Amino acid sequence: MSEHGLTMQRRNDAGRLVVSVHGEIDLMTCELLSTELGEATKQSPEVLVDLSGVSFLDSAGIRVLVEAHQTAARVGHQLCVDNAHGWVERVLEVTGVRELLARPQ
């Protein structure tokens, strides 16, 4: 699925649903991401959001990730993020949500 330069693909990997995101997550694309993650958490009890292809993340994107995590937790599911780098990793760290959204070891 692609809109405003944001693309997402789903795949199953070892019992979890991986949502690979590519592009920029901002005010223009966050609703698309929200919809995708909402559907993913209904489809699988474990969702991993792969941010390796994300080059930009703002507060609107942080809100969507945290809300998706909370929504999944309310029904006993798990949503976490992985493979953030550069600016995206820094934003997750500075906002204090990196640990909340971290992939369990």
The whole-number pLDDT of residue 77 equals 95
- Closest to 97 in 3D by CA, of 45, 51, 44, 42: 51
- Tokens coding 10: 């789903």
The whole-number pLDDT of residue 47 equals 97
**Residue range 51-73, pLDDT digits in tens:** 999 999 999 999 999 999 999 99
**Residue range 8-56, pLDDT digits in tens:** 999 999 889 999 999 999 999 999 999 999 999 999 999 999 999 999 9
The whole-number pLDDT of residue 3 equals 52
CB of 42 within 8 A of CB of 77?
no
60 alpha carbon, distance to own chain's centre: 12
* Prediction pTM value: 0.92
Residues in the chain: 105
